[in-house]
Structure 1
Amino acid sequence: MSFILTFLGKGGTGRTTIAIAAAKRFASQGKRVLFAGQDVSPALSLLWETPLSAEPQTVATGLDVVQLQTTVLLERSWEDLKQQEAQYLRTPFLKAVYGQELGVLPGMDSALILNAIREYDASDRYDVIVYDGAGDQATLRMLGMPEILSWYIRRFRQVFADSDLGKTISPFIQPVASAVLNVNWSGDVFNQPAAQQVNNILAQGTAAVADPNRVAAYLVTTGDRAAQATAKYLWGSAQQVGVTVGGVVLNQSMAIDGLQSEFDPLPIATVPTRAEGDWQTVMNALPDFTQATQVPRPIATNIAERKVALFLPGFDKKQVKLTQYGPEVTIEAGDQRRNIFLPPELSGRQVTGAKFQDGYLIISF
């Protein structure tokens, strides 16, 4: 398993420069590092001073670089899907469609990139994966995808099972499935081998994102007030998807005055402007990225007191909305919505109170 590190911040703050310096520093410490960049323009190759491709290539001892290209990832995933189809269907039909002729639909980029990072992580080739993405809400939604998809599966699974439609067609599923599938299909339609494989992948992804030893993000900002406001907003938004933000990198500026109170309790590291060809100065100024475990976790549950605390910095009481329409509690903050998966001891209980205090939303059951 790898430690996955990414950076959040407004465009133009130097996130890619910081990400490259981080990858170089990890490699200099003897780690096996993969730098995965989402930028497919020539700019990334210019920064690395070597042509990049959709396949990982070694640029220094212990350091590989890959330029994530959606069309290439789509072709690979399509071939994997065709293999799965051939495994389960008696008469596969996707074999007549080729990945090379598929167009990229909106939203495909995030899903394909997340899957690629998952596969690089599972390969056991790397100790650290530095992901240089858009660094905005799109990156956060991508990282939150496993938890969100898990919610859709468990929520609609129960709705379907309880519906008249589900009860009516359940007896007919096995006879029909036997005619077209290579595997036995009986009982819960969401509890079959293929569905279980998906559930396991999503569970692993959710657990990884929630563990700061496995996934962490750092904010990158400059002396610009708009950049700082964006960083603070993304800090709170990251908490909504369960991503731990380990600290702040103040790039191209040493003016730390006033930032401590804005980003407390996050540590702030100041990084000078990089001179042409000088990576070492930036590398030396970077924080210890493995210390993300020392900051407040996005969510903490106290079963004894029947309380759940969500750390939502950057938002005030008016920007946070709590609802409980279904069996789980839904929190809205900014442009993110999160359904809290409660432990069995609290699951199904009604909310008895909530208060917003010092950046925490504290919910009582």
Structure 2
Amino acid sequence: MAQILTFLGKGGTGRTTVAIAAAKQLAASGSRTLLVSSDSSPAFGILLGLSPGAEPQEIAANLSAVQLQATVLLENSWEEVKKLEAKYLRSPTLKNVYGQELSVLPGMDGALALNAIREYNASGKYDAIVYDGTGDLQTLRVLGIPETASWYFRRFRQVFIESDLGKAIAPFIQPVSSAVLNVTWTADNFAPEPTNQATSMLEDGKAAIADPHRVLAYLVTTDDPSAIATAKYLWGSAQQINLSVGGVLLNQADTTAAITKEFAPLAVTSLPRKTADWQPLLDALPSFKPAAQIPKPVTIDLAARQVKIFLPGFDKKQVKLTQYGPEITVEAGNQRRNITLPPPLSGQPVKGAKFQDGYLIVSL
């Protein structure tokens, strides 16, 4: 599997330049690298020095690049949907709807980009994939799709099972599916455990995001106070999707004690201004390997009956904790995260919570 690397930060801090430099560095070290851009405008090609296509193309030794086009991705995905329908239904209904007719709805491009990255990763052609997204909450929401979608799927499926409607139609699922479809279904298809391809993909996506050896983000900032504040905000927001942040890249500025303190315990790497010669910038980059000091987004202490959620960049007034079901919900950075508790703590009411040193500490 490839290591997936992405960058977060305020617009204008040089994220795309850093992403290109990182891809060049990884390729130079011998890793088969794919540089993926979600920016369909000419800006990416100008920075890169060439215009990549909608399919990966080799641009240097060990380095390929692709500029994602949502319409092309939608056409390809639609054909896969039609194949699945034809496989499972005796009378497919989508065969006369063509991908070339479809328009991209708001938010669809992010899901398509994530699926494209998943497919590039599954191809086995690359050791590293550098994703140059928007670098803001939109990128985080794209990477958080497996977590969010699996929660919706699990919770609403369970609600359906327990509803009067679910109980009423359960005995008829098997005969109806046998009569209409080419496959045999049972009520087990609605069980809360992941038993099909869709849930397996979501679970694998969640596991990948939570593993810093598979998916890792870096913060990109300048010494401008607003850029630093944005980077810290995105750092905390990344914790909401269980994404590890490996370090800070301080672009076009020297590291100071004050900046180091802002991002502790993350390492801060100072980067020079990019010139016509990329090499000085490449030499200044870190190794992009997960370090031991990366704080875990969530730590559960069964003995102390505590859940610690790492939320740097936020204070107590910006964090909201609620509990409406068997999970606890944390709201921060315009995002909500549902934390599934282990059996000994599941369903236990929250007894108290405090905010300390960047951690929300919940007692059960």
**Structure 2-normalised TM-score?**
0.97
Alignment of 1:202-221 (within 5 A): 202-221=202-221
Alignment of 1:253-272 (within 5 A): 253-254=253-254, 256-272=256-272
State how far apart, in whole Å, the 2-side matches of 1:293 and 1:347 are: 30
Describe the SS at the equivalent of 2:290. helix
Q: Deviation string for 1:87-142 (max 9, x for gaps)?
A: 11111111111111100000101100000000111111111100000000000011
Letter paired with 1:138 = Q
Aligned match of 1:120: 120
Alignment of 1:164-313 (within 5 A): 164-191=164-191, 196-254=196-254, 256-275=256-275, 277-313=276-312
State how far apart, in whole Å, the 1-side matches of 2:205 and 2:189 are: 22
Shift of 1:35: 0.4
Verify the 8 A CA contact 1:185 1:192 in the aligned structure 2: no
Alignment of 1:36-55 (within 5 A): 36-55=36-55
State how far apart, in whole Å, the 1-side matches of 2:74 and 2:256 are: 43
Aligned match of 1:332: 331
Q: Deviation string for 1:285-332 (max 9, x for gaps)?
A: 112210345310111122232221110001111111111101111000
State how far apart, in whole Å, the 1-side matches of 2:143 and 2:190 are: 24
Letter paired with 2:52 = L
Verify the 8 A CA contact 2:157 2:192 in the aligned structure 1: no
Verify the 8 A CA contact 1:247 1:267 in the aligned structure 2: yes
Shift of 1:352: 2.2
- Cα distance change on mapping 1:355 and 1:192 into 2, 3 Å: closer
- Cα distance change on mapping 1:364 and 1:119 into 2, 3 Å: same
State how far apart, in whole Å, the 2-side matches of 1:328 and 1:252 are: 43
Describe the SS at the equivalent of 1:172. helix
Letter paired with 1:286 = L
Which stretch of the first structure deviates more once superposed, 22-31 or 246-255? 246-255
Which stretch of the first structure deviates more once superposed, 340-349 or 236-245? 340-349
Describe the SS at the equivalent of 1:81. helix
Aligned match of 2:33: 33
Letter paired with 2:305 = R
State how far apart, in whole Å, the 2-side matches of 1:22 and 1:185 are: 47
- Cα distance change on mapping 1:54 and 1:195 into 2, 3 Å: farther
Alignment of 1:78-93 (within 5 A): 78-93=78-93
Q: Deviation string for 1:175-230 (max 9, x for gaps)?
A: 22222211001113425999610000000000000011111111101121111111
- Cα distance change on mapping 1:9 and 1:208 into 2, 3 Å: same
Aligned match of 1:96: 96
Shift of 1:45: 1.5
Shift of 1:172: 2.2
Describe the SS at the equivalent of 2:30. coil
State how far apart, in whole Å, the 2-side matches of 1:309 and 1:206 are: 19
Verify the 8 A CA contact 1:9 1:219 in the aligned structure 2: yes
Alignment of 1:115-154 (within 5 A): 115-154=115-154
State how far apart, in whole Å, the 2-side matches of 1:124 and 1:342 are: 34
Shift of 1:257: 4.2
Letter paired with 2:284 = A
Verify the 8 A CA contact 1:244 1:292 in the aligned structure 2: no
Shift of 1:14: 0.4
State how far apart, in whole Å, the 2-side matches of 1:166 and 1:191 are: 11
Describe the SS at the equivalent of 1:188. helix
Q: How many positions carry a matched residue from both structures? A: 364
Is 1:363 the counterpart of 2:362? The answer is: yes
Verify the 8 A CA contact 2:158 2:192 in the aligned structure 1: no
- Cα distance change on mapping 1:164 and 1:295 into 2, 3 Å: same
State how far apart, in whole Å, the 1-side matches of 2:162 and 2:190 are: 13
Structure 1 runs (4+) deviating above 4 angstroms are 191-195
- Cα distance change on mapping 1:260 and 1:193 into 2, 3 Å: closer
Shift of 1:355: 1.6
Which stretch of the first structure deviates more once superposed, 24-33 or 287-296? 287-296
Which stretch of the first structure deviates more once superposed, 46-55 or 265-274? 46-55
Verify the 8 A CA contact 1:59 1:65 in the aligned structure 2: yes
- Cα distance change on mapping 1:10 and 1:348 into 2, 3 Å: same
Verify the 8 A CA contact 2:326 2:341 in the aligned structure 1: no
Shift of 1:41: 1.2
Aligned match of 1:161: 161
Describe the SS at the equivalent of 1:90. coil
- Cα distance change on mapping 1:193 and 1:56 into 2, 3 Å: farther
**Structure 1-normalised TM-score?**
0.96
State how far apart, in whole Å, the 1-side matches of 2:85 and 2:119 are: 20
Shift of 1:86: 1.0
Q: Deviation string for 1:119-168 (max 9, x for gaps)?
A: 11111111110000000000001111101111111111111111111111
Letter paired with 2:300 = T
Which stretch of the first structure deviates more once superposed, 45-54 or 287-296? 287-296
Verify the 8 A CA contact 2:315 2:358 in the aligned structure 1: yes
